[in-house]
Amino acid sequence: MKRYSRRQISRTLRKYDTKEVDVGIDDDLKLSMVETTDAYELLDRLIEQEQESGTRDRVTRFPYWAEIWPASLALSRWLALAEQPPARALELGCGLGLVGVTLASLGWMVEATDFVEDALVFTAHNAERNGVGSRHTVSYLDWSHPVGTPNPVLVGSDVAYEKSLHPYLQRTVRGLLAPGGRFILSDPGRPAARPFLEAMARAGYDHRQDQIEVQWNALDHAVDIHIFTSLR
């Protein structure tokens, strides 16, 4: 579990051009989130920094964590509509933390995890600015070595986009989902996610699928919600 001081958070946020975004989850829940202004501009800056430092042998990954994606909005709204009794949840690949902040706002105890340190700082900041810091923590999690206490609920939005990560994601779900627990995954219909869904079914998880439509940045998106239940 990580704790960041206001000074640490302020120092990290100053590294980026940021903006505040109001996100409506439902009629009763509106969240105020901070994200980077332009993730593509951020990518260009990261590439430039690599070139200046001479680390050209490392491939810069797109900073997916730095903006709110339709899949996270869809999962947040689905969870709010589901009106499930608050429990303890672990968020995988939290990015800016929208899903976890939503759950904490609904009374859940949430541990949000990511591989990127700055994503955890942004998430901690977004939890505090929405008044849910007492029910929300952040932690570093490497899917290749998943450690931690099993949880009754795991949530993840658009985290199965890369096929090479599927074995690690499946290992993480297997290790951190409690017996009888649920892994709730949102996916915008990416073909790359299909092998992961099939692998989970072969591994013996009960699978149910729903769909929710959202509008984000003036575009309409149909997002699939996959609910995997451990039968162990």
Domain count of the chain?
1
Please give the helix or strand (H or E) that residue 202 lies within, else none.
helix 194-202
Question: What percentage of residues in the chain have a pLDDT greater than 70?
Answer: 92
Asked if residue 59 is part of any domain, the answer here is: no
- Residue 178, φ and ψ in degrees, nearest 5: -70, 155
pLDDT digits (tens, 9 = 90+) for 86-126: 999 999 999 999 999 999 999 999 999 999 999 999 999 99
175: its two tokens: 């290790």
**Residue 57 clears pLDDT 50, i.e. is over it:** no
Range of the domain at 162: 6-35+65-229
Q: How far apart (Å, rounded) are the C-alpha atoms in residues 104 and 133?
A: 8
Place 51 in a pLDDT band, splitting at 50, 70 and 90: low
pLDDT digits (tens, 9 = 90+) for 16-31: 999 999 999 999 999 9
Asked if residue 55 is part of any domain, the answer here is: no
Q: How far apart (Å, rounded) are the C-alpha atoms in residues 92 and 186?
A: 11
Q: How far apart (Å, rounded) are the C-alpha atoms in residues 208 and 187?
A: 13
CATH number of the domain within which 192 lies = 3.40.50.150
**Residue 161 clears pLDDT 70, i.e. is over it:** yes
Q: How far apart (Å, rounded) are the C-alpha atoms in residues 183 and 93?
A: 13
Asked if residue 127 is part of any domain, the answer here is: yes
Asked if residue 222 is part of any domain, the answer here is: yes
Asked if residue 46 is part of any domain, the answer here is: no
Asked if residue 1 is part of any domain, the answer here is: no
Helices within 26-176 (DSSP H only): 39-53, 70-82, 98-105, 117-129, 166-176
Asked if residue 23 is part of any domain, the answer here is: yes
- Statement: the pTM of the whole predicted model exceeds 0.85: yes
Contacts of 108 (CB under 8 A, 6+ apart): 86, 87, 88, 89, 135
pLDDT digits (tens, 9 = 90+) for 192-212: 999 999 999 999 999 999 999
Asked if residue 57 is part of any domain, the answer here is: no
